A = this chain, B = another copy of it.
Amino acid sequence: MADINLRFSAGVIPTDYIVGVASSYDMEFYEVLESRRSIRSFQPREVSEEALERIVNAARMAPSGSNRQPWRFYVVRRRELVERLAEACGGQSWIAQAPVVVVATGRRIGYNRGGYMGDMSFIMDVSIAFTHLVLAARAEGLGTCWIGDFDNGAVKRLLGIGDGEDVVAVTPLGYPAGRGFTREARRKALEEVVVWVE
């Protein structure tokens, strides 16, 4: 009986339940979008298999040109590899604070989007899926940070990725330390980025 009472006492509900599971089915869409922040400081706390699966599944559901799904997601938890990946990301050692690093790769799709993107058209597909992943992480209470400064060749060597794939994005993944998901974000005003064509 004591156990049962404890489960329903707010002070002792395991944090996993509050953040890692329950919130994933409760969190309102715009709340996720507006409170996602780039997180650069992490707790060492592990991420559950269930949360990781929901996050990669969110990426899997993304749209892609002709439904090619030219992507793959490497979920890295081995400590030594996480540290080496941080090295391959311009030596940004803070990345290795996170218990998990996710690497998204893509395959060239042989389609020249817009008549000018050529061989780089696949960046778009992988970026869509990775955006799903980053937002789903937020819905799970997990922080991410898109890393653009990485060495494609070095990351591929570390993970044994073959010639057909290239790394498009890397992110650490973990529970935020410090300020976490604030609502403050410096963004241009709407008028600067939107043109209404009547």
Contact = CB atoms under 8 A, between A and B. Distances in A.
Interface stretch (A3-11, A61-69, A172-180): A61-69
B30 A197 contact: no
28 contacts: A24-B30, A25-B28, A26-B28, A27-B28, A29-B29, A29-B32, A30-B58, A34-B61, A53-B190, A60-B188, A67-B187, A69-B193, A72-B194, A73-B193, A73-B195, A76-B197, A78-B197, A81-B197, A114-B168, A115-B152, A117-B120, A117-B123, A120-B123, A124-B127, A124-B148, A124-B169, A128-B130, A128-B146
A179 B109 CA distance: 29
Nearest to A54: B30
A171 B36 CA distance: 24
Given A63-B146, A166-B116, A136 B30 contact: yes
A151 interface: yes
A139 B77 contact: no
Contacts of A81: 197
A33 B115 contact: no
A193 B27 contact: no
A121 B136 contact: no
Contacts of A120: 117-118, 120, 123
Contact of A152 (B69, B114, B148, B167): B114
Contact of A72 (B24, B71, B78, B193): B193
Contacts of A131: 62, 127-128, 131-132
Nearest to A24: B30
A74 interface: yes
Contacts of A75: 194-197
A185 interface: yes
A106 B19 CA distance: 36
Given A29-B136, A75-B196, A123-B124, 9 more contacts: A25-B30, A26-B28, A57-B190, A60-B193, A78-B198, A115-B153, A127-B127, A159-B195, A159-B197
